[in-house]
Amino acid sequence: MPAGFSDTDRESLQVQVDLLRRATPSRRLQLAFSLSADVMSLALAGIRRREPGATPARAGVVFVATQYGPELASAVRARIEDERLP
């Protein structure tokens, strides 16, 4: 285990690694999806904190711009605007 990359003590980290190694592929995928959802929630919370008046759509566009780039964010913004038209 590399030292200095975790705030978890070595023994606890070893237990975590052992549990992950024994986990089924399905369980590993569940953990990955859960971690991704948590990270997305934290990122959106940060956006809402920086832009308190942002609508959910605006926060989503900012998230997409940050994570995937301005081109995709522009396409998402256009799609949202198209859906708002009658």
**Model confidence over 20-65: pLDDT tens digits?**
999 999 999 999 999 999 999 999 999 999 999 999 999 999 999 9
Residue 84: predicted pLDDT: 80
Structure tokens at 18: 């052992």
Q: Which two tokens stand for residue 57?
A: 């759509």
- pLDDT at residue 9, as a whole number: 87
Gap between the Cα atoms of 6 and 36, Å rounded: 19
What is the per-residue pLDDT for 56?
A: 93
Judge residue 61's burial from the number of C-beta atoms within 10 Å of its C-beta, 0-12 exposed, 13-18 middle, 19 or more buried: buried
